[in-house]
């Protein structure tokens, strides 16, 4: 029973992180129909910026975190403005090749600057975060992942539900010509969704970096897991991305705990193939509202 | 009533994808406080004219190649929709382009995009005052609303933007006759109470000419007739071709229909 609870909490924390990063992926896809293959690299960039600021530049942790957030937000903005915008209206394949190219470029740059070794953050999580409940021992990283994941998911949920800018973003995803006719700044919405994607990728990249250590290859392969997550949830559903993330996180954790740790890494892709076979639009893929 | 000129379209040509010419020299004038209706059959270029004004040609790869569109004396042809909407020109698209997955109230809030960050509660109240049906449905997902509610919704949404010039594309499309009447009465009220200038594109010439002050008739990308709505209503050609009543008011025989086809080409 303790073992089960332990796995449950680990899986949930992991799941919230996947959900958070998938949120960025889905937002870009929803607003501009772009599949971002540089997702894992955005996570790695966030993790490395934080590493450089906290460990090497020696900034206080909180300040380093805030600067990383600002930096990755700006990076997303710049990516959209200089790389994606000229391709608006081009065929899907061009856009995919572009994001693939960006992914390889970033990976190369990160390898060039930071090398292929596994780096570690200085230990900054307070011991008080560790939860000790009889035989259950949840390391502080997982508690932090849990809190950060939930906090940002709620924040973004409120942003999309109630803020005007969030509603404009949803309107663009819903009906672009109509949004244009009302003066919604569609290009700004695209840029904003890339910026937010950069931000959430950085957050989940940092926390995953704390859990697994920071390594370019590691983080970009975790980035690939966004595909099983969003395909399980439905490519264009933010709620689906969150649930998909949690399911994949739990699945990984339980598979690793009860079956085999080597199966753990591939279980998401088995789910991916299975979902594509039986429910290609995912759990919450768009159910078109049809009026007759 | 002779107000100031709000919008002046001067001999514009519109070309899609650099080769398909749709408008061939359209000129028209909209004066402040007027309702101007633009009539014509399918494919005459009415919607393209509206899109040329609102800047929505651009995403469809269309361009104003000749002539000019002046709004309050400033040239606005080929500006982006973001700029044009911020000048106060709002187009209500044809066919009720609601945001399906947003609630009614959220749909209305998208109308505040041109003045982001300003308070909007008063405008919401105003829209609910004109369209009480929307108030009852404000938390419903727009995709599940009826056609009539949606038409009210998209007009209300445009009102949220404080339009100086409101362009309505076929507000009567697919609505029951009684509902059409209601919508047009509200359009008229908006014109009178909000001092908004309106341009209405319609197939339902009868309704449109009842509320309009001035009318234009388009065919094949050209304006073929213009006059005050009063005069147009009494014009025998308009009566036959658009209002559907022959000069005598009786049903037409097949022979007459053929004759009218021939005559229409000359119009």
Overall number of domains in chain B: 1
Are the Cβ atoms of B99 and A170 closer than 8 angstroms? yes
Q: How many CA atoms lie within 13 A of A47 on its CB side?
A: 35
Minimal Cα distance from A181: which residue of B? Answer: B91
- DSSP state at residue A214: B
Kindly indicate the confidence band of residue A137, based on its pLDDT and cuts at 50, 70 and 90. Answer: confident
- What pLDDT, in 10s, does the model give residues A168-217? 999 998 888 999 999 999 889 999 999 999 999 999 999 888 888 888 88
- Using 50 as the pLDDT threshold, list the residues of chain B that sit under it: 1, 262, 266-267
CATH code at B144? 3.40.50.300
Residue B218's domain spans which residues?
A: 5-234
Given this model, what pLDDT does residue A287 score? 59
DSSP-based three-state secondary structure for A89: coil
Nearest by Cα to A168 from A148, A157, A182: A182
pLDDT confidence bin for A272, thresholds 50/70/90:
confident
Question: Quick one: how far is CA B67 from the chain centroid?
Answer: 21
List alpha helices for A38-163, DSSP H. 39-51, 61-79, 92-114, 140-162
pLDDT at B197: 93
Cα end-to-end distance, chain B, whole Å? 28
Burial of residue B222 (number of CB atoms within 10 Å: 0-12, 13-18, 19+): middle
Euclidean distance between CA atoms A94 and A96, whole angstroms: 5
Residue showing tokens 């590691």:
A218
Residues of chain B with C-beta less than 8 angstroms from the C-beta of A175? 97-100
Q: Is the ipTM of this complex over 0.90?
A: no
At the topology level, CATH places domain A2-121+137-278 in ABC transporter involved in vitamin B12 uptake, BtuC (1.10.3470)
Q: Collect contacts of A120-128 with beta carbons under 8 A, ≥24 apart.
A: A120/A213, A120/A214, A121/A50, A121/A51, A121/A54, A121/A55, A121/A209, A121/A210, A121/A214, A122/A54, A122/A55, A124/A54, A124/A61, A125/A210
Task: Give the model confidence (pLDDT) of A36-45 as tens digits.
Answer: 999 999 999 9
**B196 belongs to a structural domain:** yes
Least confident of A145-154, A278-287, B140-149: A278-287
Indicate the pLDDT class of residue A277, thresholds 50, 70 and 90.
confident
The answer to the question of residue B53 being in a domain is: yes
Mean pLDDT of chain A: 88
> What DSSP state is assigned to residue A283?
S
Give the model's pLDDT for residue A288. 60
Residue B211, in any domain of the structure: yes
CB-defined contacts A:B, below 8 A:
86
Tokens 């600057």 — which residue?
A: A113
Sheet holding B74-75, edge to edge: B20-31, B5-16, B62-71, B74-75
A18 Cβ contact list (under 8 Å, min separation 6): A204, A225, A226, A229, A244, A245, A246, A248, A249
Is residue B252 included in any domain, yes or no? no
At residue B88's C-alpha, the angle toward residues B87 and B89, to 5°, is 105
Look at residue B169 and tell me if it is in a domain: yes
Alpha carbon A227 to chain centroid, angstroms: 10
* Tokens of residue A108, six digits: 């190369």
Q: Could you tell me if B90 lies within 8 Å of chain A, comparing CB atoms?
A: yes
Place of tokens 């950085």: A202
Q: What span, in angstroms and rounded, lies between the C-alpha atoms of A270 and A248?
A: 11
- A241-265: average pLDDT: 90
**Mutate: best of A26, A182, A190, partner B, most B CBs <10 A:** A182
Give the mean pLDDT of A75-83: 93
Using CB atoms within 10 Å of the CB of residue B41, give its burial: 0 to 12 exposed, 13 to 18 middle, 19+ buried: middle
Q: Is residue B260 part of a domain?
A: no
Task: Report the length, in residues, of chain A.
Answer: 292
B209 lies in some domain: yes
Query: A35 with A250: CB under 8 angstroms?
Result: no
**What is the per-residue pLDDT for B267?**
47
From chain B, the residues in CB contact with A164 under 8 A are 109, 112-113, 116-117
Is the confidence at residue A70, as pLDDT, over 90?
yes
Residue B56 lies in a domain: yes
């Amino acid at each position: 029973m303790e073992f089960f609870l332990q796995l449950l909490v680990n899986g949930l924390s992991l799941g919230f992180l996947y959900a958070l990063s998938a949120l960025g992926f889905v937002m870009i896809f929803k607003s501009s129909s772009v599949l971002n293959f540089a997702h894992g690299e955005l996570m790695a960039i966030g993790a490395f910026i934080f590493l450089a600021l906290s460990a090497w530049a020696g900034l206080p942790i909180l300040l380093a975190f805030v600067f990383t957030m600002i930096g990755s937000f700006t990076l997303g903005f710049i990516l959209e403005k200089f790389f994606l915008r000229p391709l608006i209206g081009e065929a899907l394949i061009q856009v995919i090749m572009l994001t693939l190219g960006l992914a390889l470029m970033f990976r190369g740059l990160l390898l060039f600057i930071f090398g292929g070794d596994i780096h570690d953050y200085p230990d900054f999580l307070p011991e008080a975060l560790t939860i000790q409940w009889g035989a259950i021992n949840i390391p502080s990283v997982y508690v932090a992942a849990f809190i950060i994941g939930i906090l940002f998911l709620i924040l973004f949920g409120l942003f999309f539900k109630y803020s005007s800018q969030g509603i404009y973003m949803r309107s663009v995803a819903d009906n672009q010509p109509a949004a244009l006719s009302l003066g919604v700044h569609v290009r700004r919405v695209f840029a904003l969704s890339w910026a937010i994607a950069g931000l959430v990728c950085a957050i989940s990249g940092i926390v995953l970096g704390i859990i697994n250590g920071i390594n370019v290859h590691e983080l970009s392969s975790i980035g690939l897991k966004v595909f099983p997550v969003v395909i399980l949830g439905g490519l264009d559903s933010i709620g689906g991305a969150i649930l998909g993330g949690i399911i994949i996180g739990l699945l990984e954790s339980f598979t690793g705990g009860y079956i085999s740790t080597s199966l753990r890494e591939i279980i998401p892709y088995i789910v991916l193939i299975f979902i594509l076979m039986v429910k290609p639009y995912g759990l919450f893929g768009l159910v078109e509202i049809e009026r007759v | 009533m002779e107000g100031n000129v709000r919008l002046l379209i001067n001999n514009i040509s519109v070309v899609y994808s650099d080769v398909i010419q749709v408008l061939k020299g359209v000129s028209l004038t909209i004066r402040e406080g007027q309702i101007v209706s633009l009539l014509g059959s399918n494919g005459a270029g009415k919607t393209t004219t509206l899109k040329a004004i609102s800047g929505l040609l651009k995403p469809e790869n269309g361009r104003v190649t000749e002539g000019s569109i002046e709004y309050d004396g400033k040239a606005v042809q080929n500006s982006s929709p973001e700029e044009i909407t911020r000048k106060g020109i709002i187009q209500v698209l044809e066919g009720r382009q609601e945001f399906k997955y947003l609630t009614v109230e959220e749909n209305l809030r998208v109308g505040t995009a041109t003045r982001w960050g300003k308070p909007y509660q008063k405008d919401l109240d105003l829209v609910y005052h004109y369209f009480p049906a929307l108030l009852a449905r404000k938390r419903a997902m727009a995709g599940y609303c009826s056609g009539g509610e949606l038409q009210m919704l998209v007009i209300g949404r445009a009102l949220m933007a404080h339009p100086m010039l409101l362009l309505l594309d076929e507000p009567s499309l697919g609505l029951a006759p009684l509902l059409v009447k209601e919508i047009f009465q509200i359009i008229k009220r908006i014109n009178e109470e909000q001092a908004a200038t309106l341009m209405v594109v319609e197939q339902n010439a009868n309704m449109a000419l009842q509320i309009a002050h001035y009318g234009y008739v388009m065919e094949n990308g050209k304006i073929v007739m213009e006059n005050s709505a009063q005069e147009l209503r009494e014009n025998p050609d308009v009566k036959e071709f658009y209002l559907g009543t022959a000069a005598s008011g009786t049903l037409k025989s097949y022979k007459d229909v053929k004759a009218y086809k021939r005559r229409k080409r000359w119009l």
